[in-house]
């Protein structure tokens, strides 16, 4: 503790001289590399509100029927996003969402769509209409397990369900009746006075009687359940079930748009494409504490490495990588965070790859009083001069601020 | 304990939640295997499996896969009862369902039920009763 106090004192003194040099941009800008929620639609220009998200095969069929006016017309645009592995006959119960085993299948999402319209402002001019088709994929390679909070809620829910299950089975007024029908049933099978056909008829009558009895007993059994304590307890937990995850994650997203310039399906060209690999550590409701993103884009809207527009974006391929981390210790009093970005245009000699690095630390001396230290290297021309190292120490007193990577 | 009238409680719920049937098995040592998938995706479930009043499985969470109930010889003229509570946790739907199947007898058996609960967080109680017989 003495050592920390000493360091803090030194930093506080330094800040008087270096305050003027505080010009490191510590704004976290990794968001520019983030994969869009629906890459195929972003590239196609379809708004997210226009995307159909059917939850099963039947609703998908209805969605297509609606869009095509019962298969009689081709709409100007149609887009859908589906999770095909959640449609299958095999269901995933809540418990299965805590397992990494099913992460890929449960998170696997296919998105696709097409537009048949003219350029912006002339969407309905028939002679200018062209067809564009988009396709996207998204899935988790590694998915974190539930946090302790979610596990606790799940445990409480299961306990309430177990109590409800017990209440559902008691009183077991059914057992004696079942025994009676069982004796009848066995006696019928052994009866030698009846023909096989007569036995079948009698058996079917018994089954019908048992089905009626089953329905009656079950309705009596169910009557008290909704007002019972375990039912209400389960309801309260389930209605506000928190799904929070903690651990390492790795997600992959990709999307592409194909253009059919003369509206012939044998003449198409890849208009745009992109792939994102996102990984890091998710820390429950404290957000993501470390993250990296690798991004490949073909024909991007804006070239990240070329904000001045020196290179034509048409047929350009870019590769960008970014990483950031946040470490909090001493009860969140000491925070160390960092960010690195690399950007490049593949196969291009006009622009060299460039990178940016920012490191910053923060120590809370008292409430709303912090000593901060930042260190950075920028993308710009200063890099070539080799004098771009910026260091600053600053003392902040005021309302304070909490830096969390989200 | 006060009880709510059934008509009121299930005013907006739909679907059957109990079922009784017979399953034809042969007198041999073939295992009779049960599968039970409570749904729909994202719902939480707990089940008890009872054979002639004796618990074969208690408080089983989620799906029950490849659960061996016994053999043709041991299950003949006995009752299987499966009680399941499914609670609606999914925010996507209020639909709960039960997909029950048996194999190992004369032919595979499958039965599906579903119920839409009234509100988010509500539970549905399902009961399946099967009598194992060698009479067809």
**For residue B107, what pLDDT band results from cuts at 50, 70 and 90?**
very high
pLDDT at B100: 95
Q: How many percent of chain A have pLDDT more than 90?
A: 18
* Predicted confidence (pLDDT) at residue A73 exceeds the cutoff of 80: no
| Residue B111 near chain A (CB below 8 Å) | no
A-chain CB neighbours of B22 within 8 Å are 203, 207
| Residue B77 near chain A (CB below 8 Å) | yes
Q: What whole-number distance in Å separates Cα of residue A145 and Cα of residue A100? A: 7
* Predicted confidence (pLDDT) at residue A74 exceeds the cutoff of 90: no
- Interface contact B48-A96, CB threshold 8 A: no
Q: What whole-number distance in Å separates Cα of residue A162 and Cα of residue A166? A: 6
- For B17-133, which CATH class? mainly beta
Who wins on pLDDT, A10 or B84?
Answer: B84
B-chain CB neighbours of A234 within 8 Å are 85, 87, 121, 123
H or E segment to which residue B71 belongs: strand B64-71
- Interface contact B133-A189, CB threshold 8 A: yes
Q: What is the CA radius of gyration of chain A?
A: 32
Who wins on pLDDT, B79 or B92?
Answer: B79
Q: How near does any CA of chain B get to the CA of A86, in Å? A: 7
B-chain CB neighbours of A167 within 8 Å are none
Mutate to test the interface with B, among A202, A226, A241 (most CBs of B within 10 A): A226
pTM across the whole model: 0.74
pLDDT at A384: 34
Mean pLDDT across the stretch B2-9?
41
pLDDT at A401: 41
Among A89, A94, A182, beta carbon nearest to B89? A94
Q: Across all residues in chain B, what is the average pLDDT?
A: 88
ipTM reported for the complex surpasses 0.85? yes
Q: Supply angle C-alpha B8, B11, B12, rounded to 5.
A: 145
Question: How many other β-carbons are positioned within 10 Å of the β-carbon of residue A204?
Answer: 11
Q: What whole-number distance in Å separates Cα of residue A334 and Cα of residue A349? A: 43
Q: Across all residues in chain A, what is the average pLDDT?
A: 77
- Interface contact B44-A93, CB threshold 8 A: yes
Q: Tens of pLDDT along A379-390?
A: 764 433 333 334
- Interface contact B20-A178, CB threshold 8 A: no
Q: What whole-number distance in Å separates Cα of residue A169 and Cα of residue A171? A: 6
Q: How near does any CA of chain A get to the CA of B69, in Å? A: 19
The separation between CA A91 and the C-alpha centre of its own chain, rounded to angstroms, equals 20
DSSP letter (8 states) at residue B15: S
Q: Tens of pLDDT along A298-315?
A: 888 778 888 777 877 777
Mean pLDDT across the stretch A145-155?
94
- Interface contact A164-B119, CB threshold 8 A: no
Among A161, A199, A211, beta carbon nearest to B20? A211
Residue ranges of domains in chain B: 17-133
B-chain CB neighbours of A168 within 8 Å are 83, 85, 125, 127
Q: What whole-number distance in Å separates Cα of residue B33 and Cα of residue B110? A: 12
pLDDT at A175: 66
**For residue A128, what pLDDT band results from cuts at 50, 70 and 90?**
confident
* Predicted confidence (pLDDT) at residue A237 exceeds the cutoff of 70: yes
Q: Name the closest residue on chain B to residue A156, using Cα atoms.
A: B44
- Interface contact A161-B120, CB threshold 8 A: no
| Helix pair A174-190, A196-223: axis angle to 10 deg | 170
- Interface contact A214-B63, CB threshold 8 A: no
Interface of B with A in 91-110 (CB under 8 A): 92-93, 97, 99
How many residue pairs from chains A and B have C-beta atoms closer than 8 A? 157
* Predicted confidence (pLDDT) at residue A41 exceeds the cutoff of 70: no
pLDDT at B38: 94
DSSP letter (8 states) at residue B105: S
């Amino acid at each position: 503790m003495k050592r920390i106090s000493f360091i803090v004192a030194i930093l506080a003194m330094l800040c008087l001289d270096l305050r003027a040099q505080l010009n490191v941009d510590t704004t976290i800008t990794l968001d520019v590399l983030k994969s869009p929620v629906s890459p195929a639609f972003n590239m196609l220009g379809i708004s997210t509100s226009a995307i159909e998200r059917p939850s099963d095969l039947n609703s998908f069929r209805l969605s297509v029927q609606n869009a095509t006016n019962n298969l009689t017309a081709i709409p100007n645009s149609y887009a859908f996003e589906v999770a095909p592995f959640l449609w299958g006959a095999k269901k995933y119960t809540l418990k299965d969402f805590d397992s990494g085993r099913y992460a890929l299948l449960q998170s696997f999402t296919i998105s696709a769509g097409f537009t048949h319209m003219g350029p912006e402002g002339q969407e309905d001019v028939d002679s200018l209409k062209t067809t564009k088709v988009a396709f996207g994929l998204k899935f988790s390679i590694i998915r974190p397990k539930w946090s302790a909070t979610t596990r606790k809620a799940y445990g409480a829910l299961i306990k309430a369900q177990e109590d409800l299950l017990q209440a559902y089975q008691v009183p077991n007024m059914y057992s004696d009746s079942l025994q009676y029908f069982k004796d009848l049933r066995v006696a019928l099978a052994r009866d030698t006075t009846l023909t096989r056909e007569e036995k079948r008829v009698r058996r079917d009558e018994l089954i019908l009687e048992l089905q009626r009895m089953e329905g009656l007993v079950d309705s009596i059994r169910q009557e008290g359940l909704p007002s019972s304590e375990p039912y209400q307890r389960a309801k309260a937990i389930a209605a506000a079930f928190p799904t929070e995850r903690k651990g390492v994650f790795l997600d992959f997203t990709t999307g592409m748009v194909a253009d059919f310039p003369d509206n012939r399906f044998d003449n198409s060209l890849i208009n745009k494409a992109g792939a994102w690999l996102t990984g890091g550590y998710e820390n429950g409701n404290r957000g993501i504490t470390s993250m990296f993103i690798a991004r490949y884009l073909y024909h991007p809207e804006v070239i990240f490495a070329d904000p001045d527009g020196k290179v034509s974006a048409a047929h350009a391929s870019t590769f960008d990588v970014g990483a950031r981390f946040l470490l909090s210790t001493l009860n969140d009093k000491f925070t160390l965070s960092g960010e690195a970005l690399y950007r490049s245009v593949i196969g291009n000699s006009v622009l060299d790859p460039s990178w940016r690095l920012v490191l910053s630390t923060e120590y809370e001396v008292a409430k709303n009083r912090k000593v901060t230290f930042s260190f950075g290297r920028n993308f710009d021309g200063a890099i070539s001069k080799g004098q771009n190292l910026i260091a600053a120490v600053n003392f902040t007193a005021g309302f304070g601020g909490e830096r969390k990577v989200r | 304990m006060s009880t709510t009238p059934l008509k009121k409680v299930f005013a907006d719920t739909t679907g059957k939640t109990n079922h009784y049937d017979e399953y034809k098995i042969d007198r041999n040592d073939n295992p009779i295997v049960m599968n039970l998938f409570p749904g729909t995706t994202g719902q939480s479930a707990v089940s008890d499996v009872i054979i002639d009043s004796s618990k074969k499985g208690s408080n089983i969470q989620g799906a029950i896969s490849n659960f061996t109930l016994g053999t043709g010889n041991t299950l003949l003229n006995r009752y299987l009862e499966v009680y399941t509570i499914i609670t609606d946790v999914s925010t996507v739907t209020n639909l709960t369902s039960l997909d029950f199947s048996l194999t190992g007898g004369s032919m595979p058996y499958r039965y599906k039920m579903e119920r839409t609960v009234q509100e988010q967080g509500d539970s549905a109680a399902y009961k399946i009763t099967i009598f194992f017989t060698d009479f067809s």
